[in-house]
Amino acid sequence: MKLTVTVNGTDHTREVEPRLLLIHFLRDGLGLTGSHWGCDTSNCGACVVWLDETPVKSCTVLAAMADGHRVRTVEGLADGGRLDPVQEGFTQCHGLQCGFCTPGMMLTARWLLDHNPSPSEAEVREAISGQICRCTGYENIVRSVLWASRNGG
């Protein structure tokens, strides 16, 4: 089937199998390998991207479902050359180690701060609780998001 998805502001039209998952469409079809895949069961959140205005687990969305919609990935987080405060926060607060969960965590954090510019620690933990990080014990991810909220949102 043929579909058109607007990814980070650019339209992409492709012929795909109906069963193709959005994560594979992004990674293999468009070469946007910043979004990762980490489980078979929608548990880990390494694949989180935005579908229109909402974070979704792109391993659990068919590419076909994104037809005619907008997708935002980690590659679209920075505004031109300017890093998003969330990206700055993850660097300043050592919010990543291996970096595998990081794109998904940052996209969820971006959504949280858009809707709740000054979250409490508990609200940050709640927001990322559908995602797994095996490296940081979450401490510095939480600090990174709080840093971003204090430094430009």
Partner 1 sequence: MIGVREKYEGNGAYGPLTRKEDARFIRGRGTYVDDIKLPGMLHAAILRSPLAHARIVSVDASAARAHPRVEAVITGADLAERGLAWMPTLSADVQAVLATDKVRFQGQEIAFVVAHDSYAARDAIELIAVEYDPLPPVSDATTALDAAAPLVRDDVPGKLDNRVFDWTAGDKAATDEVFAGADVVVGCDMVYPRSHPAPLETCGIIADFDAVRGKLTLWSTSQAPHAHRTIYATLTGLPEHKIRIVSPDLGGGFGNKVPIYPGYLCAIVASMATGKPVKWMEDRSENLMSGSFARDYHMHGEIAASAAGKILGLRASVLADHGAFNATAQPTKFPAGFFHIFTGSYDLRAAFCEVTGVYTNKAPGGVAYSCSFRVTEAVYLVERLVDVLARRLGVDPAELRMRNLLRPEQFPYTCPTGWQYDSGDYPRALRLAMDMAGYAELRREQADRRARGDYMGIGLSFFTEGVGAGPRSHMDILGLAMADGADLRVHPTGKAVLAISVQTQGQGHETTFAQLVAGELGLSPDEVEVVHGDTDQTPFGLGTYGSRSTPVSGAAAVMAARKVRDRARIVAAAMLEVAPDDLEWAEGTWRVRGDPEKALGIGEIAMAAHSSIELPAGVEGHLDASAVYNPPNLTFPFGAYICVTDVDPDTGEVAVRRFVAVDDCGVRINPMIVEGQVHRGLADGIGMALMQAIVFDEAGNCLGGSFMDYLLPTAKECPSYELGATVTPSPHHPVGAKGVGESATVGSPPAVVNSVVDALAPLGVVHADMPLTPASVWRAIQGRPLRPDLAVE
Nearer to partner 1 among residue 58 and residue 102 (C-beta): 102
Task: Decide: 112 and 122 in contact? Cβ < 8 Å.
Answer: no
Interacting residue with ligand FES among 61, 101, 106, 128 (CB under 6 A)? 101
- Minimum distance from CB of 145 to partner 1 (Å)? 10
Among positions 59-78, residues that touch ligand FES (CB under 6 A) are 59
**3-state SS of the chain?**
CEEEEEECCEEEEEECCCCCEHHHHHHHHCCCCCCCCCCCCCCCCCCEEEECCEEEEHHHCEHHHHCCCEEECHHHCCECCECCHHHHHHHHCCCCCCCCCHHHHHHHHHHHHHHCCCCCHHHHHHHCCCCCCCCCCCHHHHHHHHHHHHCCC
Q: Does 101 bind partner 1 (CB under 8 A)?
A: yes
Q: Does 129 bind partner 1 (CB under 8 A)?
A: yes
Q: Does 100 bind ligand FES (CB under 6 A)?
A: yes
Nearer to ligand FES among residue 108 and residue 149 (C-beta): 108
Interacting residue with ligand FES among 6, 38, 67, 123 (CB under 6 A)? 38
Q: Does 139 bind ligand FES (CB under 6 A)?
A: no
Where does this chain bind ligand FES (CB under 6 A)?
A: 37-39, 42-47, 57, 59, 96-102, 133-136
